[in-house]
C-alpha cells in the first residue's frame, strides 16, 4: 500500500508492506497507516540539525528551536531562512496582551490609533512602561506628505532662518491654523535672553513719562547694526494717547480775530509746559 509522506507539501509516498499492515492490528487489516516520511525526506531529516533561532521580538534575547521537521517542511515550501517567530516567553506574554486604543498625540485631534500587541511587547522589552505618543492614521498620512520648511527669522534686519518641522506644521494644522508662523531664528532667541526691559524717558521736553525699550526692540536694533547703548527717541504711552485723542483746533487771534491753527503736537507741548498757548496769529506777532 502506498502512503503519503507525513511531511506536508511532500508529494512522495512510502510503501506500507502487507506484513507491516498485518502486524499493525493483528491481521484484521483495518488499521490506519502510521505517519511516516518518504525515504527521501527521511534521508534529509537525518542530515539536519535542530537550530536555535533568535526571537523575532526586537530587544528580546530569547530563542526558539527550529526543529528538523519544521526545517524539512520549510524546505519543501521553498524557504531556506527560518521563519520569524517569538520565543516561548514572548508568545506567552503576547497571548496575555490586548490591543489598545490610544488617543492621537496631537492634542487638538480627537481620533485614536491602535497599539498592536507585538508593538506593545517590543516597547516593554525596550524598557518603557508608558505607551508611546503617536499620531492617528489620518494625522500620520497628512504628516508624511509634509516637508520641513525653512522660514525667515521674524526679526527685521536678521537674515537667518529657522526650520518649521513637519511635526510643528502638523500640530498647527490640527489646531486649524493654516498660515505660516512668525518666529525668531535660534540665534535671535538665544540673543534675546541677553537683553532686559529698559525704562527710558519720553522724548518730549518736560514729560516725566517713560516708555519701555523691550528686549525684542533692542534685538532688532542690534540686528540692524545699531548700538544697543543708543536707544531711539520715543514718546511715552501718555503722550501717544494724548496725540491720539487730541484734535487740531482753530483759535481766534486776540488781536485781529484771524483763525490760528493749533496743532496736536503744539497742544501737547503746551500741556507739558514747554510751550505756551498761542494768542496771536503770525502776522500780529510779526507786527508787534
Does 5 help bind Zn ion (rule: CB under 5 A)?
A: yes
Distance of CA 114 to the CA centre of its chain: 19
**CA–CA separation, 163 and 35 (whole Å):** 67
Beta bridge partners, 51, equal 66
Name the segment binding Zn ion (CB under 5 A); options: 33-41, 44-52, 77-85, 142-150: 33-41
**CA–CA separation, 192 and 11 (whole Å):** 79
Residues 208-247 that bind Zn ion (CB under 5 A): 209, 236, 239
**CA–CA separation, 180 and 183 (whole Å):** 9
Q: Which is closer to Zn ion, CB of 25 or CB of 197?
A: 197
Q: In a 10 Å sphere around its CB, with 0-12 CB exposed, 13-18 middle and 19+ buried, how is residue 50 labelled?
A: exposed
Shortest Cβ distance from residue 284 to Zn ion (Å)?
3
For Zn ion, which residue of 139, 170, 217, 221 counts as binding (CB under 5 A)? 139
Name the segment binding Zn ion (CB under 5 A); options: 28-36, 93-101, 104-112, 165-173: 104-112
Residues 34-53 that bind Zn ion (CB under 5 A): 38, 41
Question: How many of the chain's residues bind Zn ion (CB under 5 A)?
Answer: 36
Q: In a 10 Å sphere around its CB, with 0-12 CB exposed, 13-18 middle and 19+ buried, how is residue 95 labelled?
A: exposed
Alpha-carbon dihedral sign for residues 196, 202, 203, 206: negative
Contacts to Zn ion by CB under 5 A:
5, 7, 10, 12, 38, 41, 55, 57, 60, 62, 87, 90, 104, 106, 109, 111, 136, 139, 153, 155, 158, 160, 185, 188, 202, 204, 207, 209, 236, 239, 253, 255-256, 258, 281, 284
Amino acid at each position: 500500500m502506498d502512503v503519503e509522506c507525513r511531511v506536508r507539501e511532500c508529494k512522495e509516498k512510502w510503501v506500507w508492506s502487507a506484513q507491516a499492515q498485518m502486524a499493525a492490528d493483528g491481521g484484521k487489516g483495518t488499521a490506519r497507516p502510521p505517519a511516516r516520511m518518504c525515504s527521501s525526506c527521511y534521508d534529509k531529516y537525518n542530515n539536519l540539525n535542530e537550530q536555535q533561532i533568535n526571537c523575532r521580538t526586537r530587544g528580546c534575547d530569547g530563542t526558539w528551536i527550529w526543529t528538523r521537521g519544521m526545517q524539512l517542511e520549510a524546505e519543501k515550501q521553498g524557504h531556506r531562512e527560518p521563519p520569524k517567530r517569538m520565543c516561548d516567553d514572548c508568545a506567552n506574554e503576547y497571548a496575555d496582551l490586548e490591543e489598545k486604543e490610544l488617543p492621537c498625540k496631537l492634542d487638538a485631534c480627537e481620533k485614536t490609533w491602535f497599539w498592536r500587541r507585538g508593538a506593545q511587547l517590543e516597547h516593554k522589552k525596550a524598557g518603557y512602561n508608558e505607551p508611546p505618543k503617536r499620531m492617528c492614521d489620518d494625522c500620520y498620512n497628512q504628516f508624511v506628505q509634509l516637508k520641513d520648511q525653512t522660514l525667515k527669522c521674524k526679526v527685521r534686519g536678521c537674515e537667518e532662518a529657522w526650520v518649521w518641522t513637519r511635526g510643528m506644521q502638523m500640530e498647527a494644522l490640527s489646531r486649524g491654523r493654516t498660515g505660516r508662523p512668525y518666529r525668531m531664528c535660534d540665534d535671535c532667541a538665544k540673543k534675546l535672553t541677553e537683553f532686559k526691559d529698559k525704562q527710558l524717558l519720553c522724548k518730549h521736553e518736560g514729560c516725566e513719562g517713560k516708555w519701555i525699550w523691550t528686549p525684542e526692540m533692542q534685538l532688532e536694533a542690534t540686528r540692524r547694526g545699531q548700538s544697543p547703548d543708543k536707544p531711539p527717541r520715543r514718546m511715552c504711552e501718555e503722550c501717544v494717547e494724548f496725540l491720539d485723542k487730541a484734535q487740531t483746533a482753530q483759535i481766534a487771534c486776540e488781536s485781529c480775530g484771524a483763525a490760528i491753527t493749533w496743532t496736536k503736537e503744539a497742544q501737547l507741548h503746551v500741556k507739558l509746559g514747554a510751550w505756551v498757548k498761542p494768542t496771536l496769529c503770525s502776522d500780529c506777532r510779526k507786527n508787534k
